[in-house]
Amino acid sequence: MAMWVFGYGSLIWKTGFPFDDRLPGFIKNYRRVFHQGSTDHRGTPEFPGRTVTLEPAPGEICWGVAYKITKEEDKKDALLHLEVREKQYDQKEYLDFFIDINDSEPAVSGVMVYIASSDKKSNNNYLGPAPFEDIAKQIVKAEGPSGPNRDYLFNLEEALVQLGFKDKHVTDLATHVRLILSATQDAATKDV
């Protein structure tokens, strides 16, 4: 039996494990939000970055990619990789995955999804909602072992565009981060 994994953040562009098939599509009743703190990839414990998680949102959809893994050895490798990579995500859900907006039946049922919950007892890196401007400034400044937090945001935006998906939250945030970076660059140029 195949194992399916849904990626809605960096798994879209950087898998890190072998897979047999990759299907673009969506899950229902969730939305992608930059509420998860990253102290191990895109930030540090002293200054966490922000990465995406999912929050329940009746009637909404979250676009991403589902990966099919069939070989037993590949399933083990994928789970080992994901348990380390997604260690700050404290929940796994098994959801229906759709590939066409008009479909009433899922293309795949039981797709595994890693979610960082808002429960501070089980997820001490949950940052939660914040004013849009504050989230953008945090993403501009944060940097961790995997690089600047803004690269994560820009890579996510580009990956979604390449798949033909629109996510207003991601696009608006990326646009605002670019404005902050441009203003910072302009101010630095004037000082020279």
Q: What is the CATH number of the domain that holds 50?
A: 3.10.490.10
In the set 60, 86, 93, 143, the catalytic residue is 86
Q: Name the domain count of the chain.
A: 1
86 catalytically annotated: yes
The mean of the pLDDT values for the chain is: 94
Question: What pLDDT is stored for residue 88 in this prediction?
Answer: 85
Give the global pTM: 0.92
Per residue in 76-92, is it b (16+ CB within 10 Å) or e — as a string? eebeeebeebbebbbee
Mean pLDDT value across residues 147-163: 98
What's the domain range around 127?
3-191
Residue 5 phi/psi, 5° resolution?
A: -125, 130
Question: What pLDDT is stored for residue 87 in this prediction?
Answer: 86
Length, in residues, of the chain? 192
- 68-72, 94-98, 116-120: the lowest-pLDDT one: 116-120
Contact call for residues 4 and 99 (beta carbons, < 8 A): no
